[in-house]
Structure 1
Amino acid sequence: MGSTGHGWQQGPGHKPNPPGVVEQTPCQGRLAPSTQPWRFPGKPQAPFSLPAPRWPVECEVIQETIEHIEWVPPKPEPFCPPMGLEQELYTLGEEQGTVVYHSSPALQGSCFTRARVGGAPGPLSSPAAPLEGPQDTTLLFESRFESGNLQKAIKVGPYEYVLTLRPDLYTAKHMQWFYFRVQNTRREPLYRFTIVNMAKPKSLYGQGLQPLLYSQQDAQSRGIGWRRMGTDVCYYRGSAGEPPMFRLSWTVRFPHDGDTCFFASCYPYTYSDLQRYLRALAADPARSRYCAVQALCHSLAGNTVYLLTITSPGGTAGKRVVVASARVHPGESGGSWAMRGFLDFLLSAHADARLLRRLFVFKVVPMLNPDGVVVGNSRCSLAGRDPNRAYGMALPGSFPGVWHLRAMVQRVLAEREVLLYCDFHGHSRKNNVFMYGCDAGGDGTGTRLRQRVFPLMLSKNAPNKFSFSSCKFQVQKSREGTGRVSMWRLGVSHSYTLEVAFSGSTLGERRSSHFSVEDLESLGRLLCDTLLDFCDPAPAKFQQCLLEADALLQQQMGREPGSGGSWSDVSPSELESSTSGSDSSVSDGIPDDFHSPDRPMEPHRRKRLQRQRARNSLRRTNRSLTSFPAGTRRHPVLPGVQSGGGSAREKLKASSSVTFPRAAGAGNVPRAIAGEVSVADSGVALPRAPEAGNGRCATTGRHQLNNGTSAVTHHRPPLSSCRRGATSDYSRDPAVGAIPGPSWQRGRRRPQDRAHPLTVPAVASRCSACARQ
């Protein structure tokens, strides 16, 4: 799997719609919500070609095609010995060396204006200094390919280079992802590279993480792909200015003379990689029967944001929905590899995969931020902001991917239950795999413990990779705009962020070893296995995890095990020793010109109100502007969940630990999923699929219930917002023909970019909960 750089072409280069893909006409990246009904899998799709990636016109793109083979090392790659903080002996800069590569987009303004296939028109510049002869040992750098990021290289010694990363486009920060090529290598010397403008104060590079290296000669002659290489790796603070910059330094010996090599911070997975995967999927008669590919929307640059619907052919009555997404942060490529493993397993012939397709409808968005992935951003889209802070804003013109994903979930919730939402991410500061959930406090004990059951089950299925102790569940104010919290507010009771470390594991047999591509892909299969465990009709697993979650909280609070008590009145901050686990930088917030005019701007300094009447008026105004659909709980509680449950904990051993069997190799017999099984005396209700009645397995096999030990209850989903006469925050007045937007979206010019107006065509308005996809 590799990345592809496309040369510039005349015209926009947008190809016709491929067979099997429903694609709507992009209007500078904006797409009106589809009025077509759901397209469920059925007949096999014909092979098709997909349009080439579109780049901002400021970006130069080389015409060479960059491809990488996939390879798994024969044994786990260990962490390198961590180095102490390096003392800066001298100031590294241009005055100490020679600039040998300098490639920076010639940004004509402070915001995105237009895009085309291949980026900037016309001949390419030459950012690399030419070699003076065959004896010149200077490395030749290049990063103007898909997902590449390197802005400048300075030669400060015979084999020492100082590197500068390019900030995310239309920003001045978020320098963390790197991916670049070097040529003219020598085998014998020890090279040293120092990236001088990393943005984050902490990194796994200080805990044994090594950069990735890819040798083209090794790939062609020995079949070896990306591998961990580098010694004397250290991460330390560099400049003393504000904001402070941090440095990553490592030494390496190249395997061959005259080789072409690549360095990357994590296994690259580009937009072209995703398109090749979808092309192979459509060409496979077996897998394409279960998967329909659609265009959820188009990005600002006009790249398609794909939506995959996976389920068994036939009717969908009674099926619940599972929603998954990845790559809202483009520099977190490990999430794409985990997503690919998730899709591979769901579309396989495995018995558990067939059962999952028979019981659920999977709505999957494998790449939410294709623009950021194409240009090699670390965190932002072409709006110059973090899309994972924009779910709560009515900004379809600025963040089309997350807006349409949220609207799609609203439409699904109007018709059926969404059992689970999972957003795949990567983490650069914490090892292992872990999850962030949603617990804002105020709910009953059973509900709060249920939030922790799915991650705890996943930790049992992946004991060598997943760390439950690293999971966090507090909903912080700065995370209100994330996909995880937004979906939870809509009514998806089990909404999670899956974080995959850039480095590896510190657990069990995999202790102190890096993750390989195979490890990352296995997480997708383990997630599917955990979904079946979570919905198992037999109550033992679920009940045991509830007891273990309660015991862990008791231990964390310093209470005696088995002491009981309610967690209803305990704040989430008290249940977690640290709330700084997120890899997110401090949210920039939404700039003033991105706010909709119908949403009042919060003043920087709020005047204190003296009259009670004024305070009540302000509260009514704020309530009317919230984006929660009518009838949706702010803190969702699943039907059948009650607080308490102390009697069940007294009957079972809270200290016992259960390791669940993995799907691969353990079960060729499909598992059954029964619906909401009320466990006597436990105070909780176990999830189940509505089709496996009477508390029994739908098929014979690994999981069965004793007759008469459980009672089955059925719950109808709550009324949708449209049935209650409410409209979405995104479309307040159905009579209006366009969604109101900021002034620059209505044809006016941005205050900071008078020379480049950006207009947005009218978007048909409709109730987001009613409009079908």
Structure 2
Amino acid sequence: MFPALETELKQEVLPDPYEDFMYRHLQYYGYFKAQRRSLPNSATHHHVWKNNPQYLLNGSLGERDDLTQDTLQRKLPWPTCLSSVVHRQIEAVRRDSLMLSSPLLRSRQLLYDELDEVNPRLREPQELFAFFSTRGPLQPPRWPIECEVIKESIHHIEWVPSLPEYFYQPTGNEKVPEIVGEEKGTVVYQLDSVPTEASYFTSSRVGGKRGIIKEPAVTLQGPEDNTLLFESRFESGNLQKAVRVDTYEYELTLRTDLYTNKHTQWFYFRVQNTRKDTTYRFTIVNLLKPKSLYTIGMKPLMYSQSDANTHNIGWRREGNEIKYYKNNMDDGQQPFYCLTWTIRFPHDQDTCFFAHFYPYTYTDLQCYLLSVANNPIQSQFCKLRSLCRSLAGNTVYLLTITNPSETPQEAAAKKAVVLSARVHPGESNGSWIMKGFLDFILSNSPDAQLLRDIFVFKVVPMLNPDGVIVGNYRCSLAGRDLNRHYKTLLKKSFPCIWHTRNMIKRLLEEREVLLYCDFHGHSRKNNIFLYGCNNNNRKYWLHERVFPLMLSKNAPDKVST
């Protein structure tokens, strides 16, 4: 009766190779428990449903339970006139649609068309290599779904102070503020629902927590209100609470590493509504290390937005009356330590930032790598690819840097050097050392060209992007120190270091690895220094000491021996 429709349904539709792969993948990992022969051929059904609008449902999107034989027959104006082929096709649609809504298939891989049209199909592979386009925008960072993130983009200019920034010289008369707490003070900033050791990472998304961003800061009562406005819900920020204990005095509590109850040393936050030529005092009350460079006068970093916009001045070391001391609030558990300092802001109504060290965020890294990828000269000898994805789905980048060799034999004879940084996210100085190295090795310096001729450099510039993004000091989103898990077999829990170790293993099969250097920062030591491996074989005992010796001879004013 309807030869055109019957011919159309008889057309052979080849199975989609990606869908076939994904079904096998889902079944292997237990997400699909039915037999393979009962799986829907979504390519066939896509063709039928798209071209036959009579197969629409009454319900809204996702309500597929009402797709029954009676429903389909009521929708068809000519149900009794269809051939047996069409009836069999309708029965397949009904059976597969019921199957898709059953608990057998527990997958978010299925997509449905809008306007209530039934069209289940598997998602296309999304960002298979998680790599940004050299022409498109950067990949936005992915945050744990518990984290609130402000929409405002934070950017700081790069600037080198014209003069050395000397430590504060303690006088011995520095004030030691008594910790008051929120019982006697006023909470002016506080983050809610911060994940601690009692919880664990489950999923992530761009922008973090869904919904409207709350205002954790106080609302100013008018132009005369001189309360400082705090904020840290941006990349690498980690202030959890601010308590106003006097007109110009604040107690600050840092957020611990996510999914832990420890590791507080790194800090980075913003203040607004400043008053010029007024002495403010800030006291961080929950630091965990008994010793610090602050004890000998290291100053916190401050950044003035007005100075950056007007005078092109960036981060600088500021502060007076600096004191690092033990907290007198003993809760019977681990002892806390305090850092207190005074500051005079340079401008009224300014936006200022404070940090433990010069921040270097995941977005900063992506901007730098994008500039390298877009450089027609550097991109010839620097190849950029994705090493893996972190727990939150952020890309861990791998750079391969070497000059092209004239023959395969020359290429195979090159030895390798492996460099990495930011396994500890709060040690941002490691990223600045890494940037300095990349600036040099990618330059047209004769020394850099010679090194590229001789070696193959494998560089992982940020081993722990998740920790960097959320403002952790030590850990990944697994709540563990990645630097203590290089021998792990848990690929899914520690993907960044697992893939780094695997990359080095493969590299060792190809060529000799002459050096592996991992860049860190230290909270108690000055200048640049190296820790090395101790080889029990006396034949190689001096090998680990050659590179530190070379550094100390070439840069005696910067390297501590």
TM-score, L = length of structure 2: 0.74
| Residues 1:464 and 1:219: Cα distance change in structure 2 (over 3 Å) | same
| Residues 1:298 and 1:157: Cα distance change in structure 2 (over 3 Å) | same
Q: Is 1:319–2:407 an aligned residue pair?
A: no
Indicate the residue corresponding to 2:148 in structure 1: 60
Q: Is 1:247–2:350 an aligned residue pair?
A: no
Indicate the residue corresponding to 1:289 in structure 2: 380
Deviation at 1:449, TM superposition (A): 2.5
CA–CA distance in structure 2, aligned partners of residues 303 and 236 of structure 1 = 38
Task: Name whichever of 203-212 and 310-319 sits farther off.
Answer: 310-319
CA contact (8 A) 2:176 2:323 kept: no
CA contact (8 A) 2:194 2:258 kept: no
Deviation at 1:443, TM superposition (A): 2.5
CA–CA distance in structure 2, aligned partners of residues 383 and 106 of structure 1 = 15
CA–CA distance in structure 1, aligned partners of residues 184 and 124 of structure 2 = 49
| Residues 1:310 and 1:17: Cα distance change in structure 2 (over 3 Å) | farther
| Residues 1:85 and 1:113: Cα distance change in structure 2 (over 3 Å) | farther
| Residues 1:203 and 1:84: Cα distance change in structure 2 (over 3 Å) | farther
CA–CA distance in structure 1, aligned partners of residues 294 and 494 of structure 2 = 32
CA contact (8 A) 2:189 2:218 kept: yes
| Residues 1:126 and 1:363: Cα distance change in structure 2 (over 3 Å) | same
Indicate the residue corresponding to 1:455 in structure 2: 548
CA–CA distance in structure 1, aligned partners of residues 306 and 130 of structure 2 = 42
Select 1:96's aligned residue among 153, 164, 184.
184
Q: Which structure carries more helix by proportion?
A: 2
* Aligned 1:699-718 pairs, distance under 5 A: none
| Residues 1:121 and 1:155: Cα distance change in structure 2 (over 3 Å) | same
Q: Is 1:79–2:167 an aligned residue pair?
A: yes
Q: Is 1:233–2:349 an aligned residue pair?
A: no
Q: State the AA in 2 paired with 1:223.
A: N
CA–CA distance in structure 2, aligned partners of residues 334 and 17 of structure 1 = 34
Indicate the residue corresponding to 1:271 in structure 2: 362
Q: State the AA in 1 paired with 2:252.
A: L
Q: State the AA in 2 paired with 1:377.
A: N
CA–CA distance in structure 2, aligned partners of residues 194 and 386 of structure 1 = 27
Indicate the residue corresponding to 1:387 in structure 2: 482
Q: State the AA in 1 paired with 2:537.
A: D
| Residues 1:105 and 1:466: Cα distance change in structure 2 (over 3 Å) | farther
| Residues 1:85 and 1:247: Cα distance change in structure 2 (over 3 Å) | farther
Q: Is 1:359–2:454 an aligned residue pair?
A: yes
| Residues 1:85 and 1:244: Cα distance change in structure 2 (over 3 Å) | farther
Q: Is 1:467–2:560 an aligned residue pair?
A: yes
Indicate the residue corresponding to 1:761 in structure 2: none
| Partner SS, residue 455 of structure 1 | helix
CA contact (8 A) 2:420 2:519 kept: yes
| Residues 1:308 and 1:152: Cα distance change in structure 2 (over 3 Å) | same
Indicate the residue corresponding to 2:466 in structure 1: 371
CA contact (8 A) 1:233 1:249 kept: yes
CA–CA distance in structure 2, aligned partners of residues 135 and 322 of structure 1 = 59
| Partner SS, residue 280 of structure 1 | helix
Indicate the residue corresponding to 1:124 in structure 2: 213
CA contact (8 A) 1:49 1:279 kept: no
Deviation at 1:17, TM superposition (A): 7.7
Deviation at 1:84, TM superposition (A): 4.1
Indicate the residue corresponding to 2:203 in structure 1: 114
CA contact (8 A) 1:48 1:279 kept: no
Deviation at 1:16, TM superposition (A): 9.1
* Aligned 1:676-715 pairs, distance under 5 A: none
Q: State the AA in 2 paired with 1:126.
A: E
Deviation at 1:420, TM superposition (A): 0.3
* Aligned 1:532-551 pairs, distance under 5 A: none
CA–CA distance in structure 1, aligned partners of residues 291 and 170 of structure 2 = 14
Deviation at 1:49, TM superposition (A): 3.3
CA–CA distance in structure 1, aligned partners of residues 400 and 504 of structure 2 = 13
Indicate the residue corresponding to 2:294 in structure 1: 205
Indicate the residue corresponding to 1:443 in structure 2: 537
Deviation at 1:439, TM superposition (A): 1.2
| Partner SS, residue 58 of structure 1 | coil
Indicate the residue corresponding to 1:191 in structure 2: 280
| Residues 1:140 and 1:460: Cα distance change in structure 2 (over 3 Å) | same
Q: Is 1:136–2:225 an aligned residue pair?
A: yes
| Residues 1:401 and 1:98: Cα distance change in structure 2 (over 3 Å) | same
CA–CA distance in structure 2, aligned partners of residues 296 and 48 of structure 1 = 20
Indicate the residue corresponding to 2:78 in structure 1: none
Indicate the residue corresponding to 1:414 in structure 2: 509
CA contact (8 A) 1:281 1:288 kept: yes
CA–CA distance in structure 2, aligned partners of residues 84 and 150 of structure 1 = 29
CA–CA distance in structure 2, aligned partners of residues 161 and 368 of structure 1 = 35
CA–CA distance in structure 1, aligned partners of residues 464 and 239 of structure 2 = 20
Select 2:392's aligned residue among 301, 309, 313.
301
TM-score, L = length of structure 1: 0.54
* Aligned 1:246-645 pairs, distance under 5 A: 246-314=337-405, 315=408, 316-440=411-535, 442-444=536-538, 447-468=540-561
| Partner SS, residue 335 of structure 1 | helix
Deviation at 1:79, TM superposition (A): 1.0
CA contact (8 A) 2:412 2:510 kept: no
Deviation at 1:47, TM superposition (A): 4.0
CA RMSD of aligned residues (A): 2.1
Indicate the residue corresponding to 1:167 in structure 2: 256
| Residues 1:104 and 1:82: Cα distance change in structure 2 (over 3 Å) | farther
Q: State the AA in 1 paired with 2:146.
A: E
* Aligned 1:142-181 pairs, distance under 5 A: 142-181=231-270
Deviation at 1:309, TM superposition (A): 0.5
CA–CA distance in structure 1, aligned partners of residues 501 and 136 of structure 2 = 28
CA–CA distance in structure 1, aligned partners of residues 419 and 177 of structure 2 = 48
| Residues 1:335 and 1:106: Cα distance change in structure 2 (over 3 Å) | closer
CA–CA distance in structure 1, aligned partners of residues 134 and 404 of structure 2 = 17
Indicate the residue corresponding to 1:473 in structure 2: none
Q: State the AA in 2 paired with 1:23.
A: F
CA contact (8 A) 1:85 1:236 kept: no
Larger Rg: 2
| Residues 1:188 and 1:92: Cα distance change in structure 2 (over 3 Å) | same
Identity of aligned residues (%): 62
CA–CA distance in structure 2, aligned partners of residues 113 and 72 of structure 1 = 41
Query: CA offsets per residue over residues 195-236 of structure 1, 9 Å max, x none?
Result: 000011100001120000000000000000000000011101
Deviation at 1:415, TM superposition (A): 1.6
CA–CA distance in structure 1, aligned partners of residues 498 and 153 of structure 2 = 33
Q: State the AA in 2 paired with 1:213.
A: M
CA contact (8 A) 2:174 2:322 kept: no
| Partner SS, residue 63 of structure 1 | coil
CA–CA distance in structure 1, aligned partners of residues 173 and 521 of structure 2 = 25
| Partner SS, residue 427 of structure 1 | coil
Query: CA offsets per residue over residues 599-645 of structure 1, 9 Å max, x none?
Result: xxxxxxxxxxxxxxxxxxxxxxxxxxxxxxxxxxxxxxxxxxxxxxx
CA–CA distance in structure 2, aligned partners of residues 157 and 15 of structure 1 = 57
Question: Deviating runs (4+, > 6 A) in structure 1?
Answer: 14-18
Deviation at 1:450, TM superposition (A): 2.8
* Aligned 1:684-763 pairs, distance under 5 A: none
CA–CA distance in structure 2, aligned partners of residues 180 and 46 of structure 1 = 31
CA contact (8 A) 2:415 2:514 kept: yes
Q: State the AA in 2 paired with 1:217.
A: S
Structure with higher RCO (Cα < 8 A, 6+ apart): 1
| Residues 1:86 and 1:393: Cα distance change in structure 2 (over 3 Å) | farther
Indicate the residue corresponding to 1:528 in structure 2: none
| Residues 1:48 and 1:288: Cα distance change in structure 2 (over 3 Å) | farther
